[in-house]
Amino acid sequence: MLINRRSLLLTGAAAGLGAAFSTSAFAAAPLSGVQAPGFYRRKVGSLEITALLDGFAPLSVDNFSGADKADLVGILNQAGLTESLPTSVNAFVINSGEKTYLVDTGLGANQMFGPTLGRTVANLAAAGITPDQIDAVILTHAHPDHADGLIGADGAAIFANAELVLHEKEAGFWLDDGALSSAPDGLKPMFDLARKALKPYEARTRLAKDGEIFPGVEMILSAGHTPGHSILRVASGADQMLIVGDTVHNAAIHAEKPDVGFAFDMDPAEAAASRRRIFDMVSADKMLIAATHIAFPSFGQIFVDGDHYRFQPADYAYTL
């Protein structure tokens, strides 16, 4: 029924009559104490994209660099946020109806950021998908909040039937003994974590270059956060979107100040250049984006707004 003033008045009157002849005799519902399952779907052409919430990391504004802290806190306050930033960690499923690809895996059993992460597999199940149904896992990069969900607490592969795909420059960095030996001491544990996560998949790993890696899925090098950090263009028919990985760590800050660095950027200047290039592309093409650390489910658009940018979350997808 099309809603107009007349239909609204009629249905409202009927509801009022019903209320006049009824009384409530029901007990109050108890508080549940739990959130809804962390999955959400959208369509890109004929492809079904599912965002999965691995959880959140308790970060703060102090992780950002290259701008005055007071300015950054002001940006956050304008967005209704504070300098304490519970930050989403998201993964994504691309489903063609014939093949199912998982983009990033969350932190898995690794507790380095506390107990608020590691729910990708549980939310995958809530979305009706089992690990054995994943045909390929695509990594935007090999940081632990993206790759450690490849393995369980016992170090064994979780995705038994999946090919592992990552950019050749990303694998080349983390698996290079020379890079490990020359890395700062604080970075060396990240090499160990990456190697441990990748090891069970070495016989079924594909090192990709820029270009189409699966029908409708293109890998594009977007270095800076890591040497092989990549984004994914997902296209079907006239529709397309970009999964931008760690290009954005906070939508309010990075839209207002795209040159601001983040604590885990290996080359902050290159990361900022990649960010601006991506923002210019998606704003010009009016392209939907999704990101690992934009608040779940993270879908939205970037617009040019004067001398900076603006992130607009996408409306809820009522139908698929």
Instruction: Give the confidence band of 26 by pLDDT, cuts at 50, 70, 90.
Output: confident
Question: What average pLDDT does range 142-170 have in this prediction?
Answer: 98
Structure tokens at 241: 């979107």
Question: What average pLDDT does range 57-79 have in this prediction?
Answer: 96
**Residue 20 pLDDT greater than 70, yes or no:** no
User: Does the domain formed by 38-313 have CATH 3.60.15.10?
Assistant: yes
User: What pLDDT does residue 27 have?
Assistant: 83
| Single-letter residue type at 140 | T
Helices (H), the chain: 5-20, 69-78, 120-126, 144-147, 168-174, 177-182, 188-198, 251-256, 268-285
**Residue 16 pLDDT greater than 70, yes or no:** no
Question: What average pLDDT does range 272-289 have in this prediction?
Answer: 98
User: What pLDDT does residue 17 have?
Assistant: 47
Closest CA to 147 of 274, 289, 250, 246: 246
More confident residue, 15 or 303: 303
User: What pLDDT does residue 7 have?
Assistant: 55
Q: What percent of the chain has pLDDT over 70?
A: 92
- DSSP for residue 143: S
